Amino acid sequence: MINIAHRGLSAKAPENTLFSFDCAIEQGMFHLEFDVQLTSDDIPVVIHDETVDRTTDSNGLVSSFSSNEIAGLNALNNFKNMDSIDPDLLCIPRLQDVLLRYLGQAHYYIELKSSESHLASIVAETLKECDALQYSSLAPQSAPGLTIISFSLEQVMRSQMLLPEVRHGWLRYEFNEIDIDLVVKNNLHGIYPYMQFIQKDLVQYAIKQGIGVGVWGIEKESEYRSLLGMGVHGATVNWLP
């Protein structure tokens, strides 16, 4: 089972920052999951929430900031004792910054977070510009590698039309045969349900359909251990298990 660093090593460092991803790499976690949204000038940046309120010292919608404005915010997310860390590693990074920094090292799990209809095309163009598509044909367990995911099936399908060579997956809260069948019908490669809905028989059903299963929302070591032996291909975790 692959350990996927959830927004980097976010139990030890401010989430979705270069420092958090650096920490994950240093711990041997070469599968990095992160979220992408658009600024007011349509630059893709790496941040989870719709607003900057929780993770920075400012407030407002991500989409209301220009890329230059959002780059000027610290993204400490209440972490302390970070004075010795380069401030440039503790900002909200551009997608381009993340792609280029770990190119050839990491498997990127890029979550299309915001709802703009042109988000997928901008991300696709950024991947091309950074030469990240060269790793799209590699196996799911490979690092480097590339997987695009979203809770929005619409966003996933937009991206798949633009980048048919890339692995795509659907993030879900629940986990059932209907959703697995939808993944198969839409020629997606994986389904990513919430930990609390995982059942071994459904994992096996997905595998028989040729669909990979990744799990998110793991908070405890006991939850992580319960996945072992189920056939789950990956788990997003905030720490190194």
pLDDT, tens digit (0-9, with 9 covering 90-100), for 170-204: 999 999 999 999 999 999 999 999 999 999 999 99
């994992």: which residue's tokens? 203
Q: How far apart are CA 14 and CA 85, in angstroms?
A: 11
């990744």: which residue's tokens? 214
Neighbours of 237 (CB within 10 A): 24
Please report the pLDDT score of residue 165 as a whole number.
97
Give backbone dihedrals phi and psi of 61, rounded to 5 degrees, phi first. Answer: -70, 140
Rounded mean pLDDT, 82-89: 96
Cis peptide before 87 (omega within 30 of 0): no
Rounded mean pLDDT, 32-49: 98
Please report the pLDDT score of residue 33 as a whole number.
98
Residue 139: which residues within 8 A CB-CB, separation 6 or more?
A: 145
Q: How far apart are CA 183 and CA 170, in angstroms?
A: 7
SS3 18: helix
pLDDT, tens digit (0-9, with 9 covering 90-100), for 114-152: 999 999 999 999 999 999 999 999 999 999 999 999 999
| CA torsion through residues 112, 34, 164, 194, sign | negative
Radius of gyration over alpha carbons of the chain, in Å?
A: 17
Percent of the chain with pLDDT over 90: 100
Residue 31: which residues within 8 A CB-CB, separation 6 or more?
A: 2, 3, 4, 5, 106, 107, 109, 143, 145, 234
pLDDT, tens digit (0-9, with 9 covering 90-100), for 204-228: 999 999 999 999 999 999 999 999 9
Which residues, in sequence order, are bridge partners of residue 6? 33
- In the DSSP assignment, the letter for residue 202 is H
Confidence (pTM): 0.97
Q: What domains sit in the chain, N to C, each tagged with a CATH number?
A: 2-34+105-237 (3.20.20.190)
Task: Report the phi/psi class of residue 217: left, alpha or beta, with left for phi > 0 and alpha for psi in -120 to 50.
Answer: left
Rounded mean pLDDT, 63-77: 97
